[in-house]
């Protein structure tokens, strides 16, 4: 029997109250944690640091780095003693929304920075050769030597999250913005915050209404515990609110691809709430847009993320306006007008504020990200 589709009005009422509120209220989170939480996919967060081999121990932290759509594009080769060779997995691409691989290269920078911090925690320093054989070869070859100095930001590595919920109305205090300013530009000016929120929301909607980009995103969604456990990458669609919508037929992959469906309408409205509930933005700008610039942007973004975590702030990347495909060219140009000087490249844009706690993102186990002989 085909499941009856939920009407747009009914789906919106579920989000605003009724079934969804019943699911998340009165012990809803407790129910979710006991029965629907993808514990296997979250195991790498608990295993981090639990390896005897020093390179494996450092890599067990590095795989927790952020990446676009949680694609986890890294591979590590340990076949040469005293070295770690880092490659980008050629099977993990975003041809529609990241056609030049800029965002995935930034993710590699995040990975490399967290890896270097984890090595330093063990008293090891890494001399990195970046793109030694050009773009078609390894991203980096790390030559390991004794003498690393622990980085105080590393203590926040296991607590780092990406809070994608609406943020609290309270502003980011000036002292916190100042503390983060060595990693990124922190935008707190109300007029510019409103402009960036509107730009980010409009760019997100353009992406959602561009069929090929929408399909790429929806294909990467993992709906519910079983899908997340089987494929712990991509966009995890879970938690009590979304599981309740799935349970009543208001949310699935087919519906999200239909721009006339209730699920698509709900998705737009939920995201609109998220963008406008943003007290501050953080942006990373580089002098140019080379692969080395992109790696450096990733390193800075990772450090910003850890520093924000240490201050009790949440950071949520919303970089659709920076993406390099035709439908977003106007938004990309506007982002550079607002945030960059001539010749500079805006690499990352993120919401910054106070958010409720969220669980960590699923991860492939370390063994799945290793190059085998």
Reported as type and span, the H/E element at residue 107 is helix 102-121
User: What is the predicted pLDDT for the residue at 221?
Assistant: 94
User: Which residue did the predictor score with more confidence, 325 or 29?
Assistant: 325
* Order of strands, sheet of 83-88, starting from the edge strand that comes earlier in the sequence: 74-77, 83-88, 140-146, 124-130
Residue (of 266, 270, 268) closest to 6 by Cα position: 266
Average pLDDT estimate for 144-158: 96
Reported as type and span, the H/E element at residue 308 is helix 291-310
Which residues face 350 on adjacent strands?
282, 317
Reported as type and span, the H/E element at residue 222 is strand 221-223
Q: Is the pLDDT of residue 30 over 70?
A: no
Minimum mean pLDDT range among 6-15, 140-149, 242-251, 293-302: 6-15
Give the count of alpha carbons within 13 A of 212, CB side only.
9
pLDDT classification of 240: cutoffs 50, 70, 90: low
User: What is the predicted pLDDT for the residue at 267?
Assistant: 85
Minimum mean pLDDT range among 30-34, 35-39, 140-144, 242-246: 30-34
Q: Using CB atoms within 10 A of its CB, is residue 36 exposed (0-12), middle (13-18) or buried (19+)?
A: middle
pTM: 0.91
Average pLDDT estimate for 4-18: 48
Average pLDDT of the chain, as a whole number = 90
pLDDT classification of 262: cutoffs 50, 70, 90: confident
- Phi/psi region, residue 161 (left: phi>0; alpha: psi -120 to 50; beta: rest), is beta
Determine contact, residues 318/204, Cβ cutoff 8 Å. yes
User: What is the predicted pLDDT for the residue at 34?
Assistant: 52
User: What is the predicted pLDDT for the residue at 347?
Assistant: 98
Which residues face 142 on adjacent strands?
84, 128
% of the chain exceeding 90 in pLDDT:
77
Binning the chain into helix, strand and coil, the percentages to the nearest 5 are 50, 15, 35
Q: Is the pLDDT of residue 18 over 70?
A: no
**Total number of residues shown for the chain:** 373
User: What is the predicted pLDDT for the residue at 160?
Assistant: 97
Minimum mean pLDDT range among 129-133, 147-151, 310-314: 147-151
Residue (of 368, 27, 72, 39) closest to 225 by Cα position: 39
User: What is the predicted pLDDT for the residue at 17?
Assistant: 41
Q: What's the pLDDT tens digit per position in 166-196?
A: 999 999 999 999 999 999 999 999 999 999 9
Look-up: residue for tokens 């943020």? 167
Q: What's the pLDDT tens digit per position in 90-143?
A: 999 999 999 999 999 999 999 999 999 999 999 999 999 999 999 999 999 999
Contacts of 365 (CB under 8 A, 6+ apart): 43, 44, 47
């Amino acid at each position: 029997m085909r499941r009856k589709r939920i009407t747009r009005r009914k789906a919106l009422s579920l989000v605003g109250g009724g079934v969804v509120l019943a699911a998340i209220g009165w012990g809803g989170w407790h129910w979710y944690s006991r029965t629907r939480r993808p514990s296997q996919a979250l195991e790498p967060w608990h295993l981090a640091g639990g390896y005897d081999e020093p390179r494996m121990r450092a890599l067990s932290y590095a795989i927790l780095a952020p990446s676009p759509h949680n694609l986890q594009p890294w591979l590590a080769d340990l076949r040469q003693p005293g070295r770690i060779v880092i490659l980008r997995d050629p099977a993990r691409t975003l041809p529609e929304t990241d056609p030049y691989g800029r965002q995935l290269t930034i993710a590699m920078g995040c990975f490399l920075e967290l890896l270097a911090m984890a090595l330093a925690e063990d008293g090891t320093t890494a001399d990195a050769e970046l793109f030694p054989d050009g773009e078609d070869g390894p991203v980096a070859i790390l030559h390991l030597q004794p003498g690393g100095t622990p980085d105080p930001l590393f203590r926040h590595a296991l607590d780092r999250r990406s809070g994608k919920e609406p943020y609290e109305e309270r502003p980011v205090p000036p002292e916190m913005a100042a503390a983060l300013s060595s990693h990124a530009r922190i935008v707190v000016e109300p007029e510019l915050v409103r402009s960036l929120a509107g730009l980010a929301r409009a760019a997100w909607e353009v992406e959602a209404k561009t069929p090929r980009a929408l399909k790429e995103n929806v294909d990467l969604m993992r709906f519910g515990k079983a899908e997340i456990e089987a494929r712990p990458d991509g966009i995890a669609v879970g938690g009590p609110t979304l599981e309740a919508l799935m349970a009543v037929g208001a949310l699935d992959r087919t519906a999200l691809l239909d721009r006339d469906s209730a699920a698509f309408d709900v998705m737009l409205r939920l995201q609109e709430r998220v963008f406008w509930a943003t007290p501050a933005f953080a942006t990373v700008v580089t002098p140019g847009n080379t692969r080395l610039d992109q790696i450096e942007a990733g390193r800075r973004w990772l450090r910003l993320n850890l520093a924000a975590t240490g201050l009790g702030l949440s950071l949520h990347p919303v970089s659709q306006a920076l993406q390099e495909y035709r439908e977003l060219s106007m938004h990309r140009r506007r982002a550079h007008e607002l945030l960059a000087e001539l010749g500079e490249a805006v690499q990352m844009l993120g919401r910054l504020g106070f958010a409720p706690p969220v669980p960590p993102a699923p991860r492939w186990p370390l063994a799945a990200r290793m190059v085998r002989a």
